[in-house]
């Protein structure tokens, strides 16, 4: 019979709860992937899941699949922690927890020059926007994302918004000052309201697309590196689009030939 932890003061529970905050993620070098979809997809990725947390009454639709994946990835009973419903809710970020989550090691990727289509995210502040962009980048085939002074990509909100895209996209965290040397010789395109119509712009070779901060746009560092700018035409009364939406439109428009 599995031992069930019910105390919120248990060290294992306190550690898991700490991963909801940036300070805890930095201290332990790990983040949480919560829910059946994220748990299953993470276990199918190359990321290192270190522990599973399961509620005492967990009997989700994907339970059999998830336990099989845990076994396949070498997470046996010694790496599965069973929590009471109240303890699990204490750790969970969800209003209605699904009863399963993973503690995952944050990958440490040393920034390097891009190999294929990629994004430079310049100060994206909202974790929901960041997660949406990561999700779309994965769908559109942009395999690398450079996070220049952005929100924490491994916050629960960002991980959730990425819909598992974060598990399959290489992320590099760096300062703006590191960008010039890293992208020397690259033709950077930037989304900017004064740019050329993105639907008529013809991109050649590798796409390096920069998306600026939600409120302030592109930083001076990025502006100096930019070879060309593209814009989404507006026909209605709106002056701009949400950063996540704008990034999605630009990513697909610049690589439209791939999808025809």
Instruction: For 234, list phi and psi in degrees, rounded to 5.
Output: -115, 125
Q: Choose the final residue of a domain: 62, 78, 105.
A: 105
Tell me what the mean pLDDT of segment 17-43 comes to: 99
What are the percentages of helix, strand and coil residues in the chain, rounded to 5? 35, 25, 40
Question: Using CA atoms, how far apart are residues 244 and 231, in angstroms rounded to an integer?
Answer: 14
Q: Is residue 113 part of a domain?
A: no
Question: Using CA atoms, how far apart are residues 130 and 244, in angstroms rounded to an integer?
Answer: 7
Tell me what pLDDT residue 243 has. 94
CA-based angle 5:93:83, to the nearest 5? Answer: 10
Question: Using CA atoms, how far apart are residues 55 and 90, in angstroms rounded to an integer?
Answer: 11
Q: Choose the final residue of a domain: 105, 128, 147.
A: 105
Stated length of the chain: 260
Tell me what pLDDT residue 259 has. 83
Residues 196 and 149 placed together within one structural domain of the fold? yes
Specify the number of domains making up the chain.
2
* Structural tokens at position 86: 């109240």
Instruction: State the distance between the two ends of the chain, measured CA to CA, in whole angstroms.
Output: 55
CA-based angle 24:29:33, to the nearest 5? Answer: 80
Question: 37: domain range?
Answer: 4-105
Tell me what the mean pLDDT of segment 109-114 comes to: 96
Q: pLDDT tens-digit profile of 43-95?
A: 999 999 999 999 999 999 999 999 999 999 999 999 999 999 999 999 999 99
Whole-structure pTM value = 0.95
- For tokens 């639709």, the residue is 61
Q: pLDDT tens-digit profile of 114-136?
A: 999 999 999 999 999 999 999 99
The domain that contains 85 carries what CATH number? 3.30.1330.30
Determine the 3-state secondary structure of 224 from DSSP.
helix
pLDDT band at 1 (very low <50, low <70, confident <90, very high): low
| CA-closest candidate to residue 250, choices 137, 128, 100, 103 | 137
Residues 132 and 244 placed together within one structural domain of the fold? yes
| CA-closest candidate to residue 201, choices 249, 152, 139 | 249
The domain that contains 237 carries what CATH number? 3.40.1280.10
Q: pLDDT tens-digit profile of 229-254?
A: 999 999 989 888 999 999 999 999 99
Q: pLDDT tens-digit profile of 174-230?
A: 999 999 999 999 999 999 999 999 999 999 899 999 999 999 999 999 999 999 999
* Structural tokens at position 104: 């995952």
Q: pLDDT tens-digit profile of 122-178?
A: 999 999 999 999 999 999 999 999 999 999 999 999 999 999 999 999 999 999 999
- For tokens 């989304």, the residue is 191
CA-based angle 57:62:65, to the nearest 5? Answer: 110
Q: How many CA atoms lie within 13 A of 156 on its CB side?
A: 17
The alpha helices in 45-126, defined as continuous H runs, are 63-72, 85-91
């Amino acid at each position: 019979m599995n031992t069930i932890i019910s105390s919120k003061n248990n060290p294992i529970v306190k550690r898991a709860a700490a991963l909801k905050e940036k300070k805890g993620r930095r201290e332990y070098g790990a983040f949480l992937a919560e829910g059946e979809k994220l748990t299953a997809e993470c276990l199918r990725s190359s990321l290192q899941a270190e522990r599973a947390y399961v509620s005492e009454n967990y009997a989700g639709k994907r339970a059999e699949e998830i336990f099989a994946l845990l076994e396949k990835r070498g997470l046996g009973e010694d790496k599965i922690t069973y929590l009471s419903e109240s303890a699990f809710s204490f750790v969970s970020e969800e209003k209605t927890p699904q009863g399963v989550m993973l503690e995952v090691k944050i990958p440490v990727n040393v920034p390097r020059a891009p190999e294929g289509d990629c994004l430079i995210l310049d100060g994206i502040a909202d974790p929901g926007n960041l997660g949406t962009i990561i999700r779309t980048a994965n769908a559109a085939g942009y395999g690398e994302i450079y996070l220049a002074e952005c929100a924490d990509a491994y916050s629960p909100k960002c991980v959730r918004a990425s819909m598992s895209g974060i598990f399959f996209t290489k992320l590099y965290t760096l300062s703006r000052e590191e960008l010039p040397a890293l992208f020397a010789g690259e033709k950077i395109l930037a989304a900017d309201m004064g740019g050329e119509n993105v639907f008529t712009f013809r991109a050649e070779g590798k796409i390096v697309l920069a998306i600026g901060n939600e409120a302030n746009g592109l930083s001076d560092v990025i502006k100096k590196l930019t070879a060309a700018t593209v814009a989404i035409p507006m026909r209605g009364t709106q002056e701009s689009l949400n950063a996540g939406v704008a990034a999605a439109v630009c990513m697909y428009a610049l690589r439209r030939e791939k999808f025809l």
